[in-house]
Structure formats: structure tokens, C-alpha cells
Amino acid sequence: SQKIEQNSEALNIQEGKTATLTCNYTNYSPAYLQWYRQDPGRGPVFLLLIRENEKEKRKERLKVTFDTTLKQSLFHITASQPADSATYLCALSQGGGYQKVTFGIGTKLQVIP
Amino acid sequence: EADIYQTPRYLVIGTGKKITLECSQTMGHDKMYWYQQDPGMELHLIHYSYGVNSTEKGDLSSESTVSRIRTEHFPLTLESARPSHTSQYLCASSSFGGTSSEDTQYFGPGTRLTVL
């Protein structure tokens, strides 16, 4: 069955360091992959989208990579700040007529001052 | 900040009551969704709509119903609330199929429902 795996354990990182979050998937051929940020008690907020034919995407301090051979996406936050503390969700879509988007459980990031 | 609104933000209600959770968006998006999320758990799609008069059930079976009479409005109704319905309900919309070929979703702030 299709599965999205994100490290469900919290990631603690020192302020100023680079945080790297992982999204692995199985039994999927995603047309694109998205990353969202979710704060406690709030809805997710879209951050970045990367297509299957793209290796890397950047936006300010954020960088996403997409390796369809390894079936993995890495999400990096450089120069992390306490305000980056949140849960980060990976979402995959296979594309096509009905583009079902499936969300992972998310990884909680804690940036320590 | 996305222009998608949900009311109420918090609702505590007794078993057996009928409730309607409101969701409105001002972005003109055709596609709208309802998700259910328990604390620390993943999002589960319970309903979606491609446009006016279109509603479909999602991946997670739900006793709730939805309607889409206007593009901007996608309310969710529970005819008889039960404690098992206690959860957070998130509404989202996207321009997929209209101006976009990718389903980037914009979420509302959510409604935290507690059924006693």
C-alpha cells in the first residue's frame, strides 16, 4: 500500500544550524511533492512545491530536494530560528485527473535558542 | 495569509446535537476540502468538492455531510454529534483545475470540536 514516512520523533536543533527533515515514500509515483508548516491548533501553511523532474527548489532560507530514485525528499532550513519551530508536513500527489494529495504525519521541529 | 475562514473556532456541545461547521473562501477556488485531524496525528480527508453541486467522500469514512451551493461556501454538518466526533476539523481550498495544474491547498484555522 502507499505510504509516506516522516520521522515522527521531534527534531531538536540549535539556533543558527541547518535543520534537515526527511520524507520517504513507498508504492508511489508522485508527480510533485509539497511541504507545509503547521503550528499547534492551526491549519497547515504551504511552503514549497517540487515537481518530479526537478532536483532542488529554494525559497529564502528553505531548500527542498526530490530524489525519485531514492523515493525521498529532504527539507532544509538554513540559519534556523526559534520562530521556525513547528511541525512540517510532506504531501504527495500522483497528478492526473483527480490529483489526490496525501499528507504525511509530519515532523516536529524545535529550534533551541 | 490565505483568505479562508472557519467558524466557530472552538465548539463544545452535548451528545445528540446537530452542528454545522462553516467554511468560506474568498479566493474563487473551485476545489474545497474537509480534513479531520487528531492531536499529533495525520490529516485525513473526509470530504471534497470540485465545484458547485459537486461533493465526494474522502478517504476516511465520516458520518458528516457537506453541501456546495455556492463556490465560496462549503459547510459540514453532523446530524447527531457523538463523543467519537471530537477532533479538529480543517477546511481547505485550491485553484487546481482552474488556474493551476497543481493542488496547492490553502487551509483555514480549523474548528476544534468537543462532544461531551
Interface test with A, best of B44, B57, B104 (most A CBs within 10 A): B104
Residue from the list A41, A99, A105 with its beta carbon closest to the beta carbon of B42 = A105
Cα separation of B91 and B108, whole Å? 5
Test A43 with B104 for CB contact under 8 angstroms. no
Under the phi-then-psi rule, with left for phi > 0, alpha for psi from -120 to 50, and beta for the rest, what region is B71?
A: alpha
A96 touches chain B (CB under 8 A): no
Q: Which three cell numbers stand for residue B115?
A: 462532544
Contact A80, A18 (CB under 8 A): yes
Per-residue pLDDT tens digits for B24-79: 999 999 999 999 999 888 899 999 998 999 999 988 888 899 999 999 999 999 99
pLDDT tens-digit series, residues B91-108: 999 987 666 677 889 999
Distance of alpha carbon A28 from alpha carbon A44, whole angstroms: 23
Question: Residues of B at the A interface (Cβ-Cβ below 8 Å)?
Answer: 2, 41-43, 88, 90-92, 96, 102-110, 112
